Structure 1
């Protein structure tokens, strides 16, 4: 099956267009003020209008309240949740009536146990590198986990691979894990929150 990619943290029309032109299956808009990739709802809506129907628009949230989700729904097709308890994931999914992805932060094999608790709550799991204790951001820091931890793991849901991916290593990551959907943010940037069109294009070419 073909591998597809989500380019996350897009915040300009030019980089969004590059992701779409390069064949991204999904584009991600971040709604989390501490992040350098955070978007105001109005601007996200303007960007969302540039996205063709074949490309999924993913809103990225960190344990959001209902009002935050509601404000973003006109700009997104999919809700991606970080640091959100399984019962809250299920409640958001029921309320928003959108496909929901839930992040499972990974550092050790035992961290994968959290995936099973999302069965029935989320539609897809996003395996991401666990950030250091006390870190301001739950992702987008260029960290990767040991991909071998996924070897032989019985995934309870469809899943995607994230964490420290870039144009140079994504092919290896796909070979090591069997991922059919990969997610990149900082790996296609020149500085935190500053996406690079050439890196986006190179990443999407590398997964082909």
Structure 2
């Protein structure tokens, strides 16, 4: 199966276009407070220029459901990604929802209750200092072999140096990277973006 690639934390049109050229399937835009935060109106302008088949995802952390859906409509997001402790009962699910789950130890997996209304489950490492993405890997073997009710998206500390191994271990539906392809917070590195996608494709061919 071809592993999908999501580049998250896009903050400029230039980075968005470079991400598309590198082969990203999806772009993530962080609307909540973050070093990679981008204004919804800027996102809308970028999304309007994306080519067909490249999806846009709005990333939110503990925001009001009505606000999330209002912004998502403004930006014409294809999906929303919830990174915090949101109450899913407050959402209408008119837009597909990706829910992030934080994992550091086997007991974290045992305590999971994955909502079947979501379109995919994203696994990231747990950090008390980072309610959003952490940029830190977790032990992939914790979830290896587990069958989830929704497609698996792997995040947390992925880079061109380790994404091939991550795919070999888990064979996820998609991989999600932000800091691992940056030269500074919120600014992507063209060479790292291309290298990341190349490593993903090499891993796919190795199966």
> Is TM-score (shorter-chain normalized) higher than 0.5?
yes
In the TM superposition, 1:97-108 aligns within 5 A as 97-108=94-105
In the TM superposition, 1:159-174 aligns within 5 A as 159-174=152-167
| Aligned match for 1:138, one of 132, 157, 173 | 132
* Shift, 1:198, TM fit: 1.4
Verify: 1:113 aligned to 2:110, yes or no: yes
* Shift, 1:154, TM fit: 2.1
Post-superposition CA distance 1:75-124 (Å, at most 9, x none)? 21101001234xx22432x2x51110000001011212354x22323111
| Aligned match for 1:176, one of 169, 180, 183 | 169
- Give distance in 2, aligned partners of 1:40 and 1:62: 15
TM-score by length of 2: 0.90
- Give distance in 1, aligned partners of 2:195 and 2:74: 30
In the TM superposition, 1:49-88 aligns within 5 A as 49-65=48-64, 66-75=66-75, 76-85=77-86, 88=87
| Other-structure match for 1:8 | 8
* Shift, 1:69, TM fit: 3.1
- Give distance in 2, aligned partners of 1:61 and 1:99: 13
TM-score by length of 1: 0.90
- Give distance in 2, aligned partners of 1:199 and 1:162: 16
| Other-structure match for 1:48 | 47
RMSD value over aligned CA atoms? 1.5
Q: How many residues align?
A: 199
- Give distance in 2, aligned partners of 1:16 and 1:119: 31
| Other-structure match for 2:37 | 38
| Aligned match for 2:118, one of 101, 116, 122 | 122
2:160–2:196 contact (8 Å) kept in structure 1: yes
Query: Structure 1: which 5+ runs fail to align?
Result: none
* Shift, 1:4, TM fit: 1.3
1:90–1:122 contact (8 Å) kept in structure 2: no
* Shift, 1:58, TM fit: 0.4
